[in-house]
Structure 1
């Protein structure tokens, strides 16, 4: 990818009773007639994605794409699947993108800086890791 593009992201805390996790959602870099038609690549995190928790890589379980409405939606989730609350949002610069790697620069309220979402070589899990700062990114 030669051109850096900027797209929205959101982090939602998803509650169901006393059980909760965080969903990291990045708008997919796919051309569409309407931004509302674009889907959100989504990963489930068991660790809150705030800077102090991201000194070490964290596991990111891929989920099915979510509808673009979740960039702004908070509230009950259909079919009694719990409640979601936005805990961070902003834009991300897509620096590198492939089926198995997203290298991004987050500019959110809490999530800020260079990160990689990378598919692990075994299984379907991914890892979210902070990248070292370099001049070429």
Structure 2
């Protein structure tokens, strides 16, 4: 199938599909005319990429995960033991970022309505 059909079937823009190819996430065949030719399995791969992106994974992590996926009926199942460890590390990274954001929000909340106190100056 050509890129326009893949875009329609997955809801992903042609621009994004080209980006996925640049990142090594998709490897379409090329027709003699130079057009990209995607096989049927690519629809599943693109849907998997979209889910993994929405989970906060970057394209480099996704590029490592895709070769380990063996079951097209679920988002992730793998034959690579490092897949589970890598995803656990990524989850820890996201959790730490969430903790940092919550702490920043709490500080911001504590500042609302707080009187400005400047060292060396007293309020009379």
Which interval holds the TM-score relative to the shorter structure? under 0.3
More helix by proportion, 1 or 2? 2
Instruction: Tell which has more relative contact order, 1 or 2 (C-alpha 8 A, sep 6+).
Output: 1
Alignment TM-score, normalising by the size of structure 1: 0.23
More strand by proportion, 1 or 2? 1
